Structure 1
Amino acid sequence: MKGLGFIGAGNMGEAMIRGILAAKLIPPREVVVLDVRPERGKELGKNFGVSVARGMADLFRKCDTIVFAVKPQGVRDVLRQVPAGTAKGKLFLSIAAGVPTRVFLSALGEGASVVRAMPNTPAQVGMGCTGLFFARGVSREKKAWVRKIFSSFGEVGEFSREELLDVVTALSGSGPAYAFLFIEAMADGAVRAGMGREEAVRLAAATVEGAARMVRVT
């Protein structure tokens, strides 16, 4: 499949690009980004060597796989900008929380393959956790490609019921914030007992990371 496009290039989009390129799934120039902030595209081009689309039509012409990495409230506006007749045969990945696949299928029309994904913020350090739901009609080949993309920056779980992606959002999407708070509370206690802040945070984070590893292997 030629070209991997990103509509939206925020923190999660960048995390995905970093993982994909680190895994050498696709050459940097075949990753194409389009963001409402022109300077953001230039920044990613400079940092990663990716291409910057001149517009929606340019991105669709160059890419067979397209990631909707925009905020949920912006999805419908972006879908209205998709050039008519260009979606057939392409693979679309949405990481917009809470937006069901039917929204994309209705807007993109027959022949579009749609996948809903929910990655989380640790993807930014290569330790993400992503839930996947494949809408009907996604081929075996395309499913394998999607798994490679999201496995490049962490763990992947697949679900046959789309409503479970909302559970993933609550569990692994929001979960890191609770872990951050727990680590901060542990470190605060150590600081009050006389330990330096930097050392306290390092030990608290390592403790949680080690405990998580024990859960995985026992």
Structure 2
Amino acid sequence: MSKTAGRLKTAKRMLDKIDHSSKLRTNILAGLAAPGPPLGSQLGQRNINIANFIKDFNERTAHIKEGIPLPCRVKIKSDRSYDLTIHQPPATYFLKQAAGIQRGAMVSRDEVAGKITLKHLYEIAKIKKQDRHMILVSLEQLTQMLVGTAKTCGIQVVRDLDPDEYAEFLKERAIIVAEQKKALQEAKEAKMLRTS
């Protein structure tokens, strides 16, 4: 009987440790959290006081430039309180900022949307290393991960970058992007005509 009682106590302790809280993973623009969709509906589904959450988030991101996307992890407790963890902006945001572009490659894998130097890459890695989930990743591994992310965005990593040549590249790139946007819009309009 005592063995069974001991097992029951152990099982009860293990059950008490199970976390039944709800988790929310979302990107929120710094200083621009608003009660409207999609954030308001996500919070409402989890019974979080939307006004308090928005006030808390906007206060905690007041020191950050408005509009920067911030990955957030919200752990909701059973008493409707929450733990909010705000991470550094996504790597793609930093890479595009360093390259001076708004959007990455759209057409092919070989398309070059922008260029950054190794120094840019190293500085971005140092910033991303501050995220709690990157503690066990070395700076070298993180830099290699960023090289892969840059490649998928169409951003070329180079040793040196001449500012005048790069300014000329960006002018030419702006023309290409405008043509791509126009082609996408025409394809969208043609599809709408076919479906109506």
TM-score tier, shorter chain, comes to 0.3 to 0.5
TM-score of the superposed pair, with normalisation by structure 1: 0.33
TM-score of the superposed pair, with normalisation by structure 2: 0.36
Considering only CA atoms, is the larger Rg found in Structure 1 or Structure 2?
A: 2
